[in-house]
Amino acid sequence: MLTGPELLTKVKEMGEASKSDLVRSCGYVSTKKDGGERLNFTAFYEALLEAKGVSLGDGGVPGKPGRKLGYMAKVQFNGNLLVGKAYTAMLELKPGDEFEIKLGRKHIRLVPVGAGVDGEED
């Protein structure tokens, strides 16, 4: 599969070719169970956008392709509220980091110990 400048060059070379021919010639093809051909249009267009400098920023879990963070939490059966490892990794939090719990009317804010009023480090 072509990516980056090679992909852009190939697309320009192909000119007025059909979308299917373009996807096929750039290598975005896989084989189905029955032996038929599957054109991977989504992967092609994502690679094309990336080559043009447009990042889709998938928001996925670091190191876990295919999984996306939901930015939701649920109170567990025992009353605990869990913030998962993916979120703490994104914030580069380490074991032992401490937070002050600030309660609002219907929200909770975690403020790192030693942070100012706006949550930024002093």
What is the per-residue pLDDT for 122? 46
What is the per-residue pLDDT for 72? 79
What is the per-residue pLDDT for 63? 53
CA distance 56 to 2: 18
What is the per-residue pLDDT for 67? 60
- Identify the three-state secondary structure at position 45: helix
- Identify the three-state secondary structure at position 16: coil
CB atoms within 10 A of CB 18: 9
Parts of the chain with a pLDDT under 70 = 55-69, 115-122
DSSP letter string over 81-107?
B---HHHHHHTT--TT--EEEEE-SS-
What is the per-residue pLDDT for 116? 61
CA distance 104 to 15: 58
What is the per-residue pLDDT for 21? 92
